[in-house]
């Protein structure tokens, strides 16, 4: 059977090609097998989170349906907010527990509502109090979105347009900021919490919310229509690999193989587009690392939630306002090598650190893992080649490829499909080099058969019929995977 089929670049769409036996060396230097093309990316952005700093005078938010009521409420909130700022000692208030503050504000609001003759029912009154409270101590209009566990991303495009991602799909919300100044105030609250600021001379900033969510901010002049804020919410409950199987991201046989590979310290990279679930998969796989190993994680914004007891976490640092003090991923990878790690987990490999990462993988830190932005496994390898090029070392392309082929054994490819579902599109094995061509073979893949009118993707997971070479290594380490998992046509 097409034991290790060969190479054929897949340039065309979701028609499932027959496993080819003809081999043609790909011009990009990666011998190739049958991979489904990556889904077009439509995803959202990411960002880290902050805590609540001191409140300056400002207005409030609104979402409601009736525009007359909405304007009246908005107006009332702005006035009430000003009054509260004038009348109460905010810094003293902020030290109180949230329940106390709430009681305090509730009393003031109740009085105010009477005086102003606002017709609010109990629910509206309670919402009003919550909004005033969010405004004073939290992040204003987006607080409810941050609390909503079904939302994974919050994307603010200027003060009048806020989108969220739910179940993998973007949807508009009725959340509004009063004006640009209001939004900027919230933005500054976020970034000042991580000791940064944004203005015309520093219009871009990464930050993190108190709960660990990632935030990216862009303001004028780079953001043409007003501040752009992208928040990737921190998922409090990391998805376990079994859960990923339950939601249909992969089949149990694939999960069993991946878990075995992690246990056996087979070096794996996770590839995918923006928001395709790379970090989630990395987290899920890390659960299979032995408790006895020392792990070092390197990230821009610490998102990984490893369960092992012996984890040393490191985070990069952007340059300060004077442009000094930057600590890059490459610095951290090099440093990690002096910290006696057993495995290094790199949140996202995206530049010059690729070279040091591969070195580490090749020199006793097998089982290290990283994610990479790419639409298919072949592209992931090409991107690695480019990244190694960025390190500016005098290496020939053949030796770069040799390093890659020696270091990485498995590529897990993820995609977010048009219906918002995240799936493992492919599990591919790197089997070595032939000449200066990297040999790769696909073990499992998702075959997309149709897309319904509402965008729902239909398809199934299949084994390509290739028996992974790494099975020999697994067997030697006492891990058995039933060989029928790899039979072609075996229902997964």
Ligand X SMILES: Nc1ncnc2c1ncn2[C@@H]1O[C@H](COP(=O)(O)OP(=O)(O)OP(=O)(O)O)[C@@H](O)[C@H]1O
Judged by the rule CB under 6 A, the positions of this chain that interact with ligand X are 46, 152, 232, 235, 244, 247, 249, 272, 274-280, 422
* Range 259-278, binding Mg ion (CB under 5 A): 278
Q: What's 484's DSSP letter?
A: G
CB of 275 to ligand X, least distance (A): 4
Neighbouring CB atoms inside 10 A of 309's CB total 9
| Tally of CA atoms within 13 A in the half-sphere of 317 that contains its CB | 13
CB of 36 to ligand X, least distance (A): 17
Q: Which residues of 322-348 are buried (b: 16+ CB within 10 A; e: fewer)?
A: eeeeeebbbbbbeebbeeebbbbbbbb
The reply to whether 283 sits near Mg ion by the rule CB under 5 A is no
Report the residue number, 280 or 286, with the smaller CB distance to ligand X: 280
274, interface contact from Mg ion, ligand X, none, CB < 5-8 Å by kind: ligand X
Q: H-helix or E-strand containing 313?
A: strand 311-315
What sections of 247-305 are H helices per DSSP? Answer: 252-263, 278-286
Query: Under a CB-based contact definition with an 8 Å cutoff, are residues 458 and 448 in contact?
Result: yes
The reply to whether 297 sits near Mg ion by the rule CB under 5 A is no
**CA-based nearest residue to 387, from 419, 424, 359:** 359
182, interface contact from Mg ion, ligand X, none, CB < 5-8 Å by kind: none
244, interface contact from Mg ion, ligand X, none, CB < 5-8 Å by kind: ligand X
The reply to whether 464 sits near Mg ion by the rule CB under 5 A is no
Report the residue number, 141 or 347, with the smaller CB distance to ligand X: 347
Q: Which residues of 100-123 are buried (b: 16+ CB within 10 A; e: fewer)?
A: ebbeebbebbeebbeeeebebeee
- To 10 degrees, the CA torsion angle through 479, 370, 462, 40? 170
29, interface contact from Mg ion, ligand X, none, CB < 5-8 Å by kind: none
What sections of 22-174 are H helices per DSSP? Answer: 67-87, 90-94, 98-116, 122-137, 143-147
Report the residue number, 227 or 277, with the smaller CB distance to ligand X: 277
464, interface contact from ligand X, Mg ion, none, CB < 5-8 Å by kind: none
The reply to whether 418 sits near Mg ion by the rule CB under 5 A is no
CB of 130 to ligand X, least distance (A): 24
CB of 232 to Mg ion, least distance (A): 7
CB of 213 to ligand X, least distance (A): 10
Tokens matching residue 445? 């893949």
Report the residue number, 212 or 432, with the smaller CB distance to ligand X: 212
* Residue of the chain from 33, 271, 279, 382 that contacts Mg ion (CB under 5 A): 279
* Range 170-229, binding Mg ion (CB under 5 A): none
CA dihedral sign, ordered 369, 372, 375, 379: negative
Footprint on this chain of Mg ion (rule: CB under 5 A): 278-279
């Amino acid at each position: 059977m097409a034991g290790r089929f060969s190479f054929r670049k897949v340039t065309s769409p979701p028609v499932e090609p027959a496993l080819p036996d003809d081999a043609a060396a790909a011009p990009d230097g990666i011998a190739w097998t049958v991979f489904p093309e990556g889904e077009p990316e439509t995803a959202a952005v990411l960002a880290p989170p902050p805590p609540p700093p001191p409140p300056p005078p400002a207005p409030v938010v609104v979402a409601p349906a009736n525009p007359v009521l909405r304007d009246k409420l908005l107006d009332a909130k702005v006035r009430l907010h000003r009054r509260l700022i004038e009348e109460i000692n905010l810094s003293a208030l902020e030290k109180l527990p949230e329940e106390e503050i709430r009681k305090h504000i509730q009393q003031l609001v109740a009085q105010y509502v009477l005086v102003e003759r606002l017709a609010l029912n109990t629910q509206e009154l309670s919402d009003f109090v919550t909004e005033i409270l969010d405004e004073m101590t939290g992040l204003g209009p987006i607080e409810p979105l941050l609390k909503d566990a079904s939302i994974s991303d919050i994307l603010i495009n200027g003060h009048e347009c806020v989108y969220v991602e739910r179940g993998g799909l973007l949807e508009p919300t009725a959340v509004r900021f009063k004006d640009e100044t209001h939004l900027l105030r919230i933005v500054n609250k976020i970034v000042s919490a991580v000791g940064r600021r944004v203005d015309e001379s520093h219009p871009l900033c990464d930050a993190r919310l108190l709960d660990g969510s990632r935030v990216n901010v862009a303001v004028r002049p780079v953001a043409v229509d007003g501040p752009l804020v992208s928040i990737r919410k921190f998922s409090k409950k990391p998805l376990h690999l079994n859960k990923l199987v339950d939601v249909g991201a992969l089949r149990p046989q694939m999960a069993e193989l991946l878990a075995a590979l992690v246990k056996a310290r087979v070096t794996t990279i996770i590839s995918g587009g923006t928001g395709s679930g790379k970090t989630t998969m990395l987290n899920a796989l890390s659960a299979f690392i032995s408790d006895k190993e020392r792990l070092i994680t390197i990230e821009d914004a610490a998102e990984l939630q490893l369960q092992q007891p012996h984890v040393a976490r490191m985070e990069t640092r952007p340059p300060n306002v004077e442009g000094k003090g930057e600590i890059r991923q490459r610095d951290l990878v090099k440093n990690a090598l002096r910290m006696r790690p057993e495995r290094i987990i790199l949140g996202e490999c995206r530049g010059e650190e690729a070279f040091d990462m591969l070195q580490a993988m090749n020199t006793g830190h097998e089982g290290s893992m990283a994610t990479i932005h790419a639409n298919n496994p072949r592209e992931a390898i090409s991107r690695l080649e480019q990244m190694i090029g960025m390190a500016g070392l005098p290496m020939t392309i053949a030796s770069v490829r040799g390093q890659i082929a020696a270091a990485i054994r498995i590529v897990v490819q993820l995609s977010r499909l048009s219906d918002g579902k995240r799936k493992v599109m492919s599990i591919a094995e790197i089997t070595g080099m032939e000449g200066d061509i990297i040999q790769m073979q696909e073990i499992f893949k998702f075959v997309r058969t149709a897309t319904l009118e509402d965008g729902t993707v239909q398809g199934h997971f299949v084994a390509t019929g290739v028996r992974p070479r790494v099975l020999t290594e697994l067997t030697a380490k006492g891990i058995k995977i039933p060989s029928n998992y790899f039979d072609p046509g075996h229902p997964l």
